[in-house]
Chain A
Amino acid sequence: MASSSRLPEVTNPAKQAPAVPAPLLHPAVAAYLARHDGLADRLPGHRHAWVAALRRRAAEAFAHQGFPTRRNEAWHYTDLRALTETRFDEPLVAVDRPVMLPDGIADAGAPRLVFLDGRFRPDLSDLEALPEGVRVESLGALLEAGDERVRTRLGALARLDASAFVALNAMLAEDGAVITVTAKPEAGARLHIVSAGSASGERPVAFHPRHLIRLAEGAGLTLFDSALGEGATAYLNNTVSEITLEPGARMTHVRLQAEAPASFHVSTVFAEVAERAEYDSFALATGARLARNEVHATLAGPKAAAHLNGAQLGDGARHVDTTTVITHAAPDCASRQTFKSVLAGRARAVFQGKIHVHQAAQKTDGYQMNQALLLSPEAEIDAKPQLEIYADDVKCSHGATVGELDADQLFYLRSRGLPLAEARAVLIEAFLADALEAVRDEAFRAALSEATAAWWARAHAEAGA
């Protein structure tokens, strides 16, 4: 029966008409759609009708939305023109050189999955010590096999209308990590996903990894998720992660974005947190020319919790954007957010944090704090907290501060012999300390500290130049 029902589904979408007619489309949108049409019979799983249909629906959604402009409220502070004016190719040629991981990242001491330019590279990965109760698969391979489990999971949380980048990702995703965890939290399961942009060719490339992560009831995982890159060629890393935490599951998500200086990084995370489950994330951003970290966390069952903490460090003319949407959809849930920005040079940061409390979500406890440290008169932050509350018995608060380094503290440190740069570094580190302390995994925290120090060395060198 299975074979007979599948037969009619095996069609070649490449033979069909292009997904959308092209007039009036932004050239960048048209170019991506053309890419979809051109690659339709090469993308993994194209022989399976549901995979092809999903991509077509994504193409339609992408064409319909187009890239957001500043008139779009969610993108008002982030101008995407530099991204939409860059023509990206697919990373069709496999890169055959080893990936050099920075110290700290290489030493994180966890089983490692490496994606190079968005493609899983078993040869670079180290999954020998994968703990029991943690299953890791390649999305590309599962799509190719037409795996039904992926069919139900792909796009279940990341709806195509969520953003143009989600639709773009669904349209062109080739690979990603599919992680399924049944291990109990006491087992201390750790895993490391590395996404490396090689920027190896002369032409910019774009890749669209899609990660699907599911923790079964009562399961636990600490995931270190790092996006790195080198080289001077632009690339676009447009990652979408869908994270499902079943009742009582606990996930710690430690994220590092240290992409190459000419790159674009857009990451959209969807986390659905069931009853009594807990999603605890820390995101550090130190790289990319333009970066957007967008997190949608939904507290879907009673007593669920989400902690979204992080820091974004800007230097030069970089633009870093953190946008969070926490939806309290059930009673007795708690959400905590502390985000810090440190900005040097002409860097610009955005923090938009929305807490949306449904009518059913009584006894909600929501907290959001956004603090910025401006190291230069030309640095800038735009902060927009948003509370949307439909329940009447809730506790929600938010706050924002913007400041400079304290002159008295700097003088005190210098009077004890610390050179100015070192004194500034001490105070920046102190500013970030209480946020970083939330990362309990020592090896992962150390990797973040190293990334912070590397950022400061760069920012300071730029300021001195």
Chain B
Amino acid sequence: MLKIEGLTATVEEKPVLKGIDLAVPAGEVHAIMGPNGSGKSTLGYVLAGREGYEVTGGSVSFRGEDLLAMEPEDRAAAGLFLAFQYPVELPGVGNASFLRQALNAVRRKRGEAELDAMQFLKLVRGKMTALGMTEEMLKRFVNVGFSGGEKKRNEILQMAVLEPSFCILDETDSGLDIDALKIVAEGVNALRGPERGMLVITHYQRLLDYIVPDRVHVLLGGRIVRSGGPELALELEEKGYGELQQAA
């Protein structure tokens, strides 16, 4: 589903990704683990198409298409979703209208009928209940005045509404207490399925207790230095990244 080959990228002319090779088949959840500054978030942004992250080499194919040639909105329409580590606040933009506009933009691109306000409300209400969110959050401006946990839940709500085929979760566990973490993880697990791939970016193993990955990759200095099964996450938790850093 997602195939990354020899990907290199710079941020402000500084090389951050130095040759990533990674393939995530449909139906699988892969975790990317690594210490701060290893390039984890950069990888997420490069895949989502953020400006200022310059790809200098390699390729990414997504469902057979050249992902890197697409505009960010086209990547979203094609089914890619990045849950932000730091969700952006949009003062003056109502959460409900934002969600509906995003959904309809994606549906339009996919050649599906747009939803009217009533149809949308019906859809979103169900998803919110599952995430333990109150409807009041729809009336607020996007992420403005949201607690850390509310912001992350709002990201998962967007994901649930847009139903992407591939989800990238960037440090979704950061800033969450254990209860919020469980709710968010349940939301993510509910979206797991044979047609959907996921890339879970995290510093800590904790999230992977709740979202159990099929594969774990360790990103260090802009390269994947080790890959393994879920047990690799436990090993890293125990030993830390130090040993791998020395080896690298």
Q: How far apart are B48's CB and chain A's nearest CB, in angstroms?
A: 5
How many interface residues does A have (CB within 8 Å)? 23
Q: Which residues of B contact A409 (CB under 8 A)?
A: 88, 90
CA of A418 to CA of B77 in the docked complex: distance in angstroms? 9
Residues in B neighbouring A420, C-beta threshold 8 A? 71, 73
Select from chain B the residue with minimum beta-carbon distance to A428: B92
From A411, A416, A418, A431, name the one whose CB has the most chain B CB atoms within 10 angstroms. Answer: A416
Q: Are A411 and B73 in contact (CB under 8 A)?
A: no
Pick the residue among B51, B91, B101 that contacts A418 (CB under 8 A): B101
Summarize A's interface: helix, strand, loop or mixed: helix
* Segment from B102-110, B124-132, B212-220 that makes contact with A: B102-110
Residue of A nearest to B50 (CB): A411
A422-444 CB mask vs B (1 if < 8 Å, else 0) is 11001101111110000000000
- Check B73–A430 contact: CB distance below 8 A: no
Tell yes or no: A408 within 8 A of B by CB: yes
- Contacts of B202 on A, CB cut-off 8 Å? none
Chain A residues within 8 Å of B90, by CB: 409, 412-413, 426-427, 430
Q: How far is the CA of A239 from the CA of B74 in the complex (A)?
A: 48
Q: Tell whether, in the assembled complex, residue B158 and residue A416 are in contact, meaning their CB atoms are under 8 Å apart.
A: yes
A407 at the interface (CB under 8 A from B): yes
| Binary interface encoding of chain B residues 77-91 relative to chain A, with 1 for a CB under 8 A from any of its CBs, else 0 | 100011010011011
* Structural contact, A426 and B48, CB atoms closer than 8 A: no
Q: Tell me if B204 counts as interface (CB < 8 A to partner A).
A: no
A414 and B73: CB pair below 8 A?
yes
B-side contacts of A434, CB under 8 Å: 92
Is A415 interfacial (CB 8 A cutoff)?
A: yes
A419 at the interface (CB under 8 A from B): yes
Partner of A414, one of B72, B91, B141: B72
**Does chain A have a CB within 8 A of B162?**
yes
A431 & B92 in contact (Cβ 8 Å cutoff)? yes
- Which B residues are CB-close (under 8 A) to A432? 92
B88 touches A417 (CB 8 A): no
Contact of A411 among B51, B92, B93, B141 (CB under 8 A): B51
Residue of B nearest to A416 (CB): B102
Give CA–CA (A414, B88) in the complex, Å.
Answer: 12
Tell me the nearest residue of chain B to A431, going by C-beta.
Answer: B92
Asked if B222 is an interface residue, CB under 8 A from chain A, the answer is: no
B54-72: which have CB < 8 Å to A?
A: 71-72
B32 interfacial by beta-carbon distance below 8 Å: no
9 additional contacts, CB 8 Å, given A430-B90, A430-B141?
Answer: A414-B76, A415-B73, A415-B76, A416-B162, A417-B76, A417-B105, A417-B106, A418-B73, A433-B93
Residue positions of A touching B, CB distance < 8 A: 407-409, 411-420, 422-423, 426-427, 429-434
- 15 chain-A/chain-B pairs, Cβ below 8 angstroms: A409-B88, A411-B72, A414-B71, A414-B73, A415-B50, A415-B73, A415-B84, A416-B105, A416-B158, A417-B77, A420-B71, A426-B98, A429-B92, A430-B91, A434-B92
